[in-house]
């Protein structure tokens, strides 16, 4: 197992600077943000432009990682593959395909995305749509020896009422994804607020997890008594502000990382555990983000066999 980080938390820094800093802090791998250059959604970045990616770009990227002794663990493009607008949906699907092609040139083992959801259709209808969209992408990835991985992020802000906007939030849906040839980019933080034990959920599926993310979560149960499980309803300026929990860097929330890492090892996981920094306390400036990444490293590094 290696300890890595997702680059999206430093959107304004070039990949060269992130790689140098991460290696200097003892990180061993990078999960590289590969969203399109346009757009300003939080926690996204474009550190690799797959729209114009060829052998020359692949050579320079591999050289950068070799220079700093880093592993490229995954290309990250987490967007709505079931977007209700047909043109937007096609653009997302096409960009996933572009990430697969770039990963093939780089020898990168995984590409990460979301299933997504059309909020105007039932879950069952969305699953039938996904069963048409994903097989060609899975086949394209498989031809290059790449695994298409889906994070179990709930993406509640994509649904008008705060319900799950990414249909990958439970083990039941993981099994459905696996039947399509998809894999899981496991993140324990989302399971905790859903009321799912992250260790019990993890244990049966480690062999379908080639990559994992390390994000923590801090719950405020007394606030849940006011808002209920879906969160704020009357005043919710930020669609992702549920009101009774917030993300933290590992070590500052409620995830039992000792048990999570131990369960990954017990199940034979030998991939990258990648820190996903979305902590509002250690955010806002690049210096604070870097401090948060240092806290995460100090928390997780002792748990990972050197």
Alpha-carbon distance of 186 to 211, in angstroms, equals: 7
Determine the average pLDDT of the residues in 60-84.
98
pLDDT digits over 232-267, tens only?
Answer: 999 899 999 999 999 999 999 999 999 999 999 999
Q: How many CB atoms lie within 10 A of CB 42?
A: 11
- Reported as a pLDDT band with limits 50, 70 and 90, residue 42 is confident
- Reported as a pLDDT band with limits 50, 70 and 90, residue 39 is low
Domain range for 127 is 2-303
Please classify residue 291 by burial: count the beta carbons closer than 10 Å to its beta carbon, then call 0-12 exposed, 13-18 middle and 19+ buried.
Answer: middle
pLDDT digits over 191-240, tens only?
Answer: 999 999 999 999 999 999 999 999 999 999 999 999 999 999 998 999 99
Number of domain units in the chain: 1
Please classify residue 61 by burial: count the beta carbons closer than 10 Å to its beta carbon, then call 0-12 exposed, 13-18 middle and 19+ buried.
Answer: buried
Question: What pLDDT is recorded for position 38?
Answer: 65
| % residues pLDDT > 90 (the chain) | 94
Determine the average pLDDT of the residues in 114-118.
98
For residue 249, report the phi and psi dihedrals to the nearest 5 degrees. Answer: -75, 155
Residue 40 has pLDDT above 90, yes or no: no
Question: What pLDDT is recorded for position 56?
Answer: 97
**Listed residue (198, 208, 174, 189) closest to 251, CA to CA:** 189
In CATH, what number is assigned to the domain containing residue 96? 3.20.20.150
Residue 306 has pLDDT above 90, yes or no: no
Mean pLDDT taken over the chain: 97
pLDDT digits over 140-149, tens only?
Answer: 999 999 999 9
pLDDT digits over 268-277, tens only?
Answer: 999 999 999 9
**Listed residue (77, 81, 162) closest to 116, CA to CA:** 81
- Both tokens of 13, joined, read 């820094």
| % residues pLDDT > 70 (the chain) | 99
**Listed residue (64, 33, 63, 62) closest to 48, CA to CA:** 33
């Amino acid at each position: 197992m290696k300890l890595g980080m997702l680059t999206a938390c430093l959107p304004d820094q070039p990949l060269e600077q992130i790689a140098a800093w991460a290696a200097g802090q003892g990180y061993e791998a990078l999960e590289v943000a590969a969203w399109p250059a346009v757009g300003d959604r939080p926690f996204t970045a474009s550190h690799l432009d797959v729209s114009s990616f060829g052998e020359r770009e692949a050579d320079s990227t591999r050289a950068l990682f070799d220079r700093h002794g880093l592993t490229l663990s995954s290309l990250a493009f987490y967007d709505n593959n079931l977007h209700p607008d047909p043109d937007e949906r096609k653009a997302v699907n096409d960009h996933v395909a572009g990430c697969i092609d770039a990963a093939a040139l780089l020898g990168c083992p995984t590409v990460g995305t979301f299933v997504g959801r059309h909020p105007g259709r039932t879950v069952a209808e969305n699953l039938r749509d996904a069963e048409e969209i994903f097989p060609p992408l899975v086949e394209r990835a498989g031809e290059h020896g790449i695994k298409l991985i889906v994070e179990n992020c709930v993406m509640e802000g994509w649904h008008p009422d705060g319900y799950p906007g990414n249909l990958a939030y439970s083990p039941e849906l993981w099994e459905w994804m696996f039947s399509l040839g998809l894999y899981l980019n496991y993140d324990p933080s989302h399971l905790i607020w859903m009321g799912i034990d992250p260790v019990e959920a993890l244990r049966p599926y480690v062999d379908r997890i080639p990559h994992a993310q390390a994000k923590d979560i801090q719950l405020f149960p007394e606030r849940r008594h006011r808002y209920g499980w879906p969160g704020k309803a009357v005043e919710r300026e930020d669609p992702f502000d549920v009101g009774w929990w917030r993300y933290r860097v590992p070590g500052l929330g409620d995830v039992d990382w000792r048990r999570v890492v131990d369960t990954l090892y017990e199940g034979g996981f030998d991939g990258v555990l990648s820190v996903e920094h979305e902590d509002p306390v250690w955010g806002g400036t690049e210096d604070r983000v870097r401090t948060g990444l240092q806290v995460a490293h100090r928390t997780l590094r002792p748990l990972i066999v050197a």
